[in-house]
Structure 1
Amino acid sequence: MDDFTERGLRDALAAAESPAWSVRAAAGRRLAAAPQIEGVAGVLHGLLLDAQDTGVTSDTVVALLARRDLAGLRAVLAARAVASDQGTADQLAAELDCDPRWATGQDGDELIVQLRTLAADSDSDVRKEALLRLARLR
């Protein structure tokens, strides 16, 4: 969403509660595009852990990783660390493993730097997940 107005934000937050998976997935994509996702982190976390449909999880993860910033990656790692539904946990892991930045050396290096930064995060779940991802690279 290019113009993140107050109304647009309210609409996206309302859509995150929809019974329709496609509407929740669209809300995840829209909220992930917010300039500052910290204000909607709780809603994004819920969408990432959507146990009703992994399509919601997938679309939200892809949009967050497309940000290419620490905030997006941090949100995904935080969800992966606490995912209790196996399908959701697997979907989160698959999207992390298939992040397009792994396809090229320079972009992969960018992702590794971000993981190293998050390995020192104040949230122990984020720290643990970042360390696990880094350990898999060795």
Structure 2
Amino acid sequence: MVSPDDQELSAAIQAADSPDWSVRAAVGRRLAASDKIDEVADVLHRLLLDLRDSAVTQETAEALLARKDTAGLRSVLLASSQAAEFWTIDQLGDALECNPEWMTTEGADRLIQQLNELTADDDAGVRDEAQRILSGLRGGRRGSR
């Protein structure tokens, strides 16, 4: 028997292909909050790189970063390393650079710890993005692309 949570997750995954940007953005927020982030990583990645509306990118990235965990940050860094469109690069950069959580000592310490961990990630793009941000932080400013 399929649990209600699994049914809801399945429905969200199907809605990720909606022509309506607000539906896709809501799916991004829903999936970003999921305990099964590894199972929906491909869908989240697609939403982070949404070619039809940058609001989908922005809302999905912000929701992933709101998790305050390495998995959410890694998803955003991976998308940032693969983004090709200016508006996507801009939205992902804003989400990474303007997160108010990182303005607190606790949040900044957590970010630095997670970035240090991600400099050893299996994916070269994630490693490079983590290193780029760390280099910017060491230089007294956030790194820019």
TM-score of the aligned structures, taking structure 1 as reference length: 0.95
Is the CA contact (8 Å cut-off) linking 1:33 and 1:64 kept in structure 2?
A: yes
In the aligned structure 1, how far is the partner of 2:100 from the partner of 2:118? 19
Encode CA deviations 1:29-64: one digit per residue, 9 max, x unaligned. 000011020111000000000011111001101110
User: Match for residue 80 of structure 1?
Assistant: 80
TM-score of the aligned structures, taking structure 2 as reference length: 0.91
User: Match for residue 33 of structure 1?
Assistant: 33
Count matched residues: 136
Output aligned runs, 1:19-98, within 5 Å: 19-98=19-98
In the aligned structure 2, how far is the partner of 1:4 from the partner of 1:32? 18
In the aligned structure 2, how far is the partner of 1:15 from the partner of 1:135? 38
> Which of structures 1 and 2 has the bigger CA Rg?
2
Q: 3-state SS of the aligned residue for 1:5?
A: helix
Q: 3-state SS of the aligned residue for 2:96?
A: helix
Q: 3-state SS of the aligned residue for 2:122?
A: coil
In the aligned structure 2, how far is the partner of 1:4 from the partner of 1:114? 33
In the aligned structure 1, how far is the partner of 2:78 from the partner of 2:11? 25
In the aligned structure 1, how far is the partner of 2:108 from the partner of 2:21? 31
Is the CA contact (8 Å cut-off) linking 1:101 and 1:111 kept in structure 2?
A: no
Is the CA contact (8 Å cut-off) linking 1:4 and 1:34 kept in structure 2?
A: no
In the aligned structure 2, how far is the partner of 1:65 from the partner of 1:30? 13
In the aligned structure 2, how far is the partner of 1:113 from the partner of 1:98? 18
- Gapped regions of structure 1 (runs ≥ 5): none
CA RMSD of aligned residues (A): 1.2
Q: 3-state SS of the aligned residue for 1:38?
A: coil
User: Match for residue 133 of structure 1?
Assistant: 133
Give the letter for the 1:88 counterpart: T
